[in-house]
Structure 1
């Protein structure tokens, strides 16, 4: 089921957000803020065992499961010589690809 369709004829771009969006889709739709996403990344970097983090007022993410589901993020976090920037980038990617849990749902 599709919640919203945004059509931009000038670019022939169609964006659909389903009833079960990823954090990436919510981010594109401006339903979550950059500051909230950065806070989730900071929480995981500080404590990789973090299993629940509230993003905004409506969603929670399990950063540990998101990173564990991404082979690239898992490998990057395991490498001692990976820079902070690279680690943050892969954690960000893993979170954006994960599915949120609605608070109170």
Structure 2
């Protein structure tokens, strides 16, 4: 199984699309599939839950927005897809 990072390396999605997915999730964190690129959906909430550091960053109130953004981006990039 490939990761989102693998797909980004293969140019199946762009950094801008990953950034948009991060910002969209931070604006409205919820579970369920989200389209992050044409033909590519991901449950970002599940990806965050699967990444210990990202889950912790989202749970704690004292974490800055910048750190949350990095944590969610990391969780997305590590997520495995189809």
- Greater helix percent: which structure? 2
Query: Structure 1 41/73 Cα, relative in aligned 2: closer, same or farther at 3 Å?
Result: same
Structure 1: tracts of 5 or more residues without a match: 1-19
The structural deviation recorded for 1:50 is 3.8
Mapping for residues 51-90 of structure 1, pairs under 5 Å = 51-90=32-71
Partner SS, residue 53 of structure 2: helix
Q: What SS is found at the alignment partner of 2:41?
A: strand
Give the CA deviation at 1:85.
0.8
Gaps of 5+ in 2: none
**4+ residue runs of structure 1 moved beyond 3 angstroms?**
none
How far off is 1:46 after superposition? 1.0
| Pairwise CA RMSD | 1.2
User: TM-score, normalising length from structure 1?
Assistant: 0.72
Q: Is 1:33 aligned to residue 14 of structure 2?
A: yes
Q: How many positions carry a matched residue from both structures?
A: 82
Larger Rg: 1
